[in-house]
Amino acid sequence: MAQVRIWIHAVWATKKRVPFMENKNKRIELFKHIKANAKGKKIYLDFINGASDHVHCLISMACDQNIAQIMKLLKGESSSWANKTNLFDKYFDWADDYYAVSVSQSHVASVREYIKIQEEHHGKKTFKKECEEFMVRYGMVRYLG
């Protein structure tokens, strides 16, 4: 049996960064659903949190998974569920883009803590600014739109 431990920090935003998730209770409901859906699809989603317009996830990929597949499953199903259940007042959709980086085992706890404080963090720094800094730090040329 293959044994793999590949940690990924994945982030994606709502389409046009509409702050659909301003209501914390609705945001939590969506995140609980994403985590349950991930479990059902055998995606190990260790931690999820975010702010009004985006999501951060810490994921451990299995040997037969890839990032594009995981993002498609999590984003597609969750937007469909949010619309089917009328979770938000308007049509809900995620932006097409996402970013994801590998996380070493020694940094998993600090990434988890960073994800945990998203609401507080974005009271000080906008998501757009965070994305721009992330892209520079990791040598990516464009930011999440």
54-73: pLDDT as tens digits:
999 999 999 999 999 999 99
Does 143 score more than 70 pLDDT? no
Whether residue 142 is contained in a domain is answered as: no
Q: How far apart are CA 126 and CA 40, in angstroms?
A: 33
Domain hosting 81: range is 6-137
Domain count, the chain: 1
What is the gyration radius of the CA atoms in the chain, in angstroms?
15
Helix (H, G, I), strand (E, B) or coil at 45: strand
Does 118 score more than 90 pLDDT? no
Whether residue 45 is contained in a domain is answered as: yes
Whether residue 112 is contained in a domain is answered as: yes
Helix (H, G, I), strand (E, B) or coil at 63: coil
- Residue of 116, 141, 120 lying closest to 131 (CA atoms): 141
Mind listing the pLDDT tens digit for each residue in 75-91? 999 999 999 999 999 99
- Residue of 103, 10, 76 lying closest to 48 (CA atoms): 10
Q: In the structure, what pLDDT confidence band is assigned to residue 144 with cuts at 50, 70 and 90?
A: very low
Does 113 score more than 80 pLDDT? yes
Q: At 74, which CATH number?
A: 3.30.70.1290
Helix (H, G, I), strand (E, B) or coil at 36: helix
What pLDDT is recorded for position 121? 62
Handedness of CA 30, 32, 33, 39 (dihedral sign): positive
Whether residue 145 is contained in a domain is answered as: no
Tell me the average pLDDT across 129-140. 73
What tokens were used for 62?
């299995």
